[in-house]
């Protein structure tokens, strides 16, 4: 099958060394086995994250790559991405826990058959979470995406706050307990290969001896799928339309790109990956807790995208791995090193201050990100001819159009 090799090459195109990405993937796959060796290394050993942290970091990476479709490709500043994480996490909580104990429904579930509530296998739940967030992305997108720039950012910020508020107060909706309020919903069923247990695969990750390993492998697979879809979409007809909208909305519309539909798709597809990642993370943590869904998390994900390079998939992956690592282990490890040295300073207390400094430093040193998108790089290095000076103001904006756009 040459086509498989071909498509792998295309996905990794743009890198001088086409073996770099496959090599990194193999290395990532081997990580759980290398972990102990790496951690016993002198000097750097303490800074090597555990496999468990890596699962979380991968979930963040997936969300960042999803957010990159909205912010990086289509150029829509979304400050409420955490809402999709919440929808994903609660989908997992509804369809794989004892929350709705009025009914008992099992479908290839990894928990005992006598547990009340809806228990659907985590694989189906991940798909359901993706679809539900996709739909909620469309619902949120339709009214908001008519706005441009700053206005859009403010409204998405609003939705990012509304969803967690609904979650916190959703324990008594007309007498019905939808979200279990501030307590959140726990426990959520673990993933497992129920139908494949005859192959020797674990029925329940949480009870398996190789718990960490299985969660890690699935998380890595999810990240790779997300990256793959993201790259393929970028190079498609839809991806071109997204970038055209980012560059010049008016011109894109004049070239036959339906603005509302195209923007909504970017929002919905970005949401899809956020939802799947949210559901998987919730299943790994064993619960969905409203305290997780704060505005800071949206900003945190946005920082990953900006740090890595807006629009650059590999850049965003690197940015997400780096900031995710700092968040999970890096800062506290560095903190304990500093304190061992006798200085009373705890970097985890200044978490967002430190991210801020990192972003500011990046903007000064590498404004297009760690691995800039090809397009930005060209603009910065070759320069762009000045646009003519005249009559820029009389050219139409689309803000006075009526909403029958699509």
Partner 1 sequence: MAAPDNIIVADKVRKEFGGLVASDDIDFTIARGAIVSLIGPNGAGKTTFFNQLTGVYKPTSGKIVFDGHEITYLPPHAITKLGIGRTFQNIRLFSQMTALENVLVGMHSRLTGGIIGSILHTRRVKREEAAAEETAKELLAYCGLPGRAGQWAGSMAYGDQRRLEVARALATQPKLLLLDEPTAGMNPQETAEFTGFVRKVRDDKGLTVLLIEHDMKVIMGVSERITVLDYGAKIAEGTPAEIQTDERVIEAYLGKGAAA
Question: What does the binding site for partner 1 look like in residue numbers (CB under 8 A)?
Answer: 7, 228-229, 232-233, 235-241, 243-244, 247-248, 250-259, 265, 269, 375-376, 378-379, 382-385, 387-388, 390-392, 394-396, 398, 400-402, 404-406
C-alpha of 59 from chain center: 7
Do 147 and 155 touch, CB atoms closer than 8 A? yes
Q: Distances from the Cα of 211 to the Cαs of 101, 119, 191, 201, 402, in angstroms?
A: 27, 20, 10, 11, 54
Between 11 and 318, CB nearer to partner 1: 11
Q: How many residues does the chain have?
A: 406
Tell me the DSSP string of 361-387. Answer: HHHHH-TT-SS--HHHHHHHHH--PPP
Residue 107 three-state SS: strand
Between 84 and 216, CB nearer to partner 1: 84
DSSP class of 288: B
Nearest to residue 219, comparing CAs of 18, 38, 49?
A: 49
- Mention every residue, 6+ apart, whose C-beta is less than 8 A from residue 155: 144, 147
Between 20 and 254, CB nearer to partner 1: 254
Q: Minimum CB separation from partner 1 for residue 248, in Å?
A: 5
3-state secondary structure 86-103: HHHHHHHHHHEECCCCCC
Q: Minimum CB separation from partner 1 for residue 403, in Å?
A: 10
Between 82 and 238, CB nearer to partner 1: 238
Q: Minimum CB separation from partner 1 for residue 277, in Å?
A: 17
Q: Minimum CB separation from partner 1 for residue 228, in Å?
A: 8
Between 167 and 368, CB nearer to partner 1: 368
Residue 76 three-state SS: coil
Q: Minimum CB separation from partner 1 for residue 382, in Å?
A: 5
Between 40 and 387, CB nearer to partner 1: 387
Q: Minimum CB separation from partner 1 for residue 8, in Å?
A: 12
Tell me the DSSP string of 135-200. Answer: HHHHHHHHHHTTS-HHHHHHHHHHHHHHHHHHHHTTT-BTTB-SS-GGG-B-PBPPP--STTGGGT
Between 142 and 157, CB nearer to partner 1: 142
Q: Minimum CB separation from partner 1 for residue 372, in Å?
A: 11
Q: Minimum CB separation from partner 1 for residue 397, in Å?
A: 8
Residue 116 three-state SS: coil
Q: Minimum CB separation from partner 1 for residue 143, in Å?
A: 17
Between 179 and 266, CB nearer to partner 1: 266
CB neighbours of residue 161 within 10 Å:
18
C-alpha of 354 from chain center: 21
Whether the CA torsion 220, 130, 204, 193 is positive or negative: it is negative
Between 291 and 384, CB nearer to partner 1: 384
């Amino acid at each position: 099958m040459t086509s498989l090799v071909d498509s792998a090459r295309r996905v990794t195109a743009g890198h001088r060394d086409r073996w770099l990405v496959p090599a990194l993937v193999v290395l990532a796959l081997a990580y759980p086995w290398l972990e102990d060796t790496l951690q016993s290394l002198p000097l750097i050993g303490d800074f090597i994250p555990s496999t468990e942290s890596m699962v979380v970091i991968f979930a963040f990476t997936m969300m960042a790559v999803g957010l990159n479709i909205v912010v990086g490709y289509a150029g829509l500043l979304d400050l409420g991405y955490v809402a999709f994480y919440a929808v994903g996490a609660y989908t997992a909580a509804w369809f794989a826990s004892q929350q709705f104990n009025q009914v008992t429904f099992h479908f290839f579930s990894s928990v005992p058959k006598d547990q009340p509530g809806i228990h659907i296998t985590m694989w189906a739940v991940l798909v359901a979470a993706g679809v539900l967030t996709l739909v909620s992305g469309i619902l949120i997108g339709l009214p908001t995406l008519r706005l441009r720039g700053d206005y859009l950012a403010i409204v998405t910020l609003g939705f990012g706050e509304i969803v967690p508020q609904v979650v916190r107060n959703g324990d008594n909706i007309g007498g019905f307990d939808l979200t279990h309020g501030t307590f959140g919903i726990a426990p959520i069923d673990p993933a497992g290969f129920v139908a494949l247990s005859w192959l020797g695969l674990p029925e329940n990750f949480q009870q398996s001896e190789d718990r960490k390993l299985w969660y890690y492998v699935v998380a890595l697979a999810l990240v790779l799928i997300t990256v793959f879809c993201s790259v393929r979409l970028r190079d498609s007809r839809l991806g071109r339309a997204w970038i055209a909208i980012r560059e010049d909305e008016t011109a894109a519309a004049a070239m036959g790109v339906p603005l509302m539909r195209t923007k909504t798709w970017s929002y919905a597809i970005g949401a899809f990956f956020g939802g799947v990642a949210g559901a998987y993370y919730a299943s790994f943590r064993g619960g969905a807790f409203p305290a997780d869904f704060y505005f800071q998390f949206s900003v945190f994900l946005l920082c990953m995208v900006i740090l890595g390079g807006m629009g650059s998939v590999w850049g965003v992956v690197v940015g997400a791995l780096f900031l995710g690592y700092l968040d999970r282990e890096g800062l506290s490890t560095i903190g304990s090193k500093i304190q061992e040295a006798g200085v009373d300073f705890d970097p985890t207390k200044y978490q967002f201050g430190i991210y801020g400094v990192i972003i500011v430093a990046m903007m000064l040193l590498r404004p297009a990100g760690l691995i800039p998108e090809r397009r930005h790089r060209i603009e910065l290095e070759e320069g762009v001819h000045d646009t003519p000076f005249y009559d820029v103001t009389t050219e139409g904006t689309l803000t006075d159009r009526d909403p029958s756009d699509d």
